[in-house]
Amino acid sequence: MSDSRSEVDPFSETPLEFQQFEGTMEVTTQQNSMEETENITNDLTYAEPLTSVQVRWFYRDGVDKRWIEFCGYDSLRIENAWRNYQSLLSKHDTSNNLIPVEKIVVKGGMYDVEIDKMKCVSIYCPGEEWEIMRGTWYYDGSWIPLESEQSKVIEEVHLNLFQKQPPGQSTSASDTPSHSYKILHTEHFSEFHVDWHSINDVVLHSEYRHSKLMRSVTTKLGFAKTTGYQLRRGYKVLAAMEDKPHDIDHLVFVVHGIGQKRDTGKIIRNTTSFRDCVDWLKQKYFPNSNYRVEFFPVEWRSSLKLDGDIVDAITPYSVLSIRHLLNTSAMDILYYTSPLYGGEVRAGLQKELNRLYFMFASRHPGWKGKVSILAHSLGCVIVYDIVTGWMGPDTRPPSPETQEVLLQRLQFLIENLFCLGSPLSVFLALRTRSPSTKTDVMPQDLCKRFYNIFHWSDPVAYRMEPLLERGYSKIEPVLIPPYGGVDGQQTEQSPPSMSTADQNFSPTETDERAESPDMSNRTVDKGWSLWGLVRAGWNAKEDASTPLQPGQELTQRLDYVLRASLGRNYLYTVAAHTTYWSNYDVAYFVLTRLFPALET
């Protein structure tokens, strides 16, 4: 939480930075609550230092910048390591930097906490790290932690005010009844001050103009206690060692498509967004489930040299920004279809997948879980070719390293391959002159289930089923139902982090096809706009409900389409290609396919 809180709601003295977090703090429910401690504390006239179970550690993720609590098991281990570190700091000269620093493995073996740097660092994904904070004082109601330095000062003042006195001695502070609103002490900070009325009545007052005006009004009206934020000492849920993650049941490697050279952290953010969607759904619809899935971002692009920046050298200076965008995004398609560099791309992704798997296996010996892959756009094509062993029309002999990587193949079995916004069928169609021949798109000995997931408006995505059986061009893809498994329209309130792409469109602009599961009843848009042409492409099948002839049915459906939720403007087709990462219907579909028992 930064110190910049210049904006204030005129109807509240809460800075907007505080307001945006209210009601969003993730909490772990346990039987031991801070209420039990408060009942004891209310009868005391002195304060003692917080115990480890009363302190809670938090991390701030890289997507929406909110403080999220560690589970009790992680928090206790971090707190103990922090106390040991503070003890060493007080006993040694820190100038020589020889103090040993313990790394604490947290979040079920996925991250390391570096207590000296106050960072939570991903073990498997270099570059992914979060800020951490020790929480001791909180805003009542929202339980947002105050910044560490502020909490440290408040805690020192609190202990000095209400420290236990020797027998026969007392202070005016400890003798003050809890119902009195007399100010025992005021501590000033740059943007607020804190008043102590009693051991259990500590109030923060903002120094913003609106807050001062409110205090002035309430004072003139004769109120004994002015407005402010009640502060709470110690977290509302006591940390417990029993509060720990379950063992990992399923690994999902998340593979990006084009454009990662320009922004190497994008796949990390997208994976975090998708993981948050899955976690929210799991807590809401399957709170008693012990299944655990972990998503690993796989960044394969930045390690590839490919042309040695020759393309950049031959790029004219005219419209440089647009050309740079194309060089770092669409150029990946040309690299992959090139007979010179396709093998390097496959080898690079395959090497990274195997590296992550072996790294995980070495830290979890004897692990018996399953592995799936969630790929996007061009990433679907590359993964498919790696799994099936397609070598491509490479004209250049592969380097010894590339050849060795490609002959080692993937060192794990794939349970599911989820393709999002995939152009795979186009690549396959252009590789053979008889794309209508019925063959297995993915042999089950290589991958048990294949899912081709796409949005109606995604201009990059193509169907897979008609490639294998031409009759499926007249059969609608399977409609992915609303998250939660509810038939018909989703009526429950969406989570706070719902994708921007699905939020910012008027209900009157929403494609009416989403209202009915019977997609064959859609009406044809007669307009001549580009968007009309896009929609007409889906509506042109006059006999979409024509049954297949005997023997034409595929053993498993492959094509799954999302409810249309974007506006009618053709510009939204671009957003459709990236909306999968924060789409709760996709997240629910993936979660229930990873763990089919959840749907029962």
Please check the confidence at residue 444 and state whether its pLDDT lies above 90.
Answer: no
Q: Using one digit for the tens of pLDDT, what is the confidence trace for 151-168? A: 999 999 999 999 887 665
Helix segments in 228-338, DSSP class H: 266-285, 310-313, 320-327, 331-337
**Which of the residue ranges 96-100, 386-390, 391-395, 459-463 would you say has the lowest mean pLDDT?**
96-100
Q: What are phi and psi of 46, to 5 degrees?
A: -140, 160
Please check the confidence at residue 568 and state whether its pLDDT lies above 60.
Answer: no
Contact yes or no for 548/472 (Cβ under 8 A): yes
Please check the confidence at residue 326 and state whether its pLDDT lies above 90.
Answer: no
Please check the confidence at residue 202 and state whether its pLDDT lies above 80.
Answer: yes
- Average of pLDDT values for 30-42? 41
Please check the confidence at residue 396 and state whether its pLDDT lies above 90.
Answer: no
Q: Which residues, other chains included, contact 93 with Cβ-Cβ below 8 Å and sequence gap of 6+?
A: none
- Of 349, 340, 332, nearest to 405 by C-alpha is 349
Q: What is the 3-state secondary structure (H, E, C) of 194-238?
A: EEEEECCEEEEEECCHHHHHHHHHHHHCCCCCCCCEEEEECCCEC
Query: From CA 116, how far away is CA 78, in angstroms rounded?
Result: 11
Query: From CA 176, how far away is CA 451, in angstroms rounded?
Result: 68
Contact yes or no for 462/424 (Cβ under 8 A): yes
Concatenated DSSP letters of 312-328 = HHT--STTHHHHHHHHT
Q: 275 versus 498: which is more confidently predicted?
A: 275
- Average of pLDDT values for 467-477? 90
Is 377 one of the catalytic residues?
Answer: yes
Q: What is the pLDDT of residue 537?
A: 43
- Residues spanned by CATH 3.40.50.1820 within the chain? 250-483+555-598
Determine which one of 75, 198, 206, 377 is catalytic: 377
Residue for token digits 């805003």? Answer: 139
Q: What is the CATH number of domain 250-483+555-598?
A: 3.40.50.1820
Q: Provide the percentage of residues in the chain whose pLDDT is more than 90.
A: 43
- Average of pLDDT values for 417-443? 80
| Average pLDDT in the chain | 76
Query: From CA 36, how far away is CA 238, in angstroms rounded?
Result: 10
CA distances from 5 to 20, 211, 336, 463, 595 (A): 12, 13, 48, 49, 44
If pLDDT is split at 50, 70 and 90, which confidence band does 431 have? Answer: confident
- Of 345, 583, 299, 373, nearest to 458 by C-alpha is 583
Q: What is the pLDDT of residue 373?
A: 98
- Of 567, 565, 559, 476, nearest to 522 by C-alpha is 476
- Average of pLDDT values for 369-380? 95
Contact yes or no for 582/501 (Cβ under 8 A): yes
Q: What is the pLDDT of residue 495?
A: 55
Please check the confidence at residue 464 and state whether its pLDDT lies above 90.
Answer: yes
- Average of pLDDT values for 32-38? 43
Partners of 129 in beta bridges: 121
If pLDDT is split at 50, 70 and 90, which confidence band does 539 have? Answer: very low
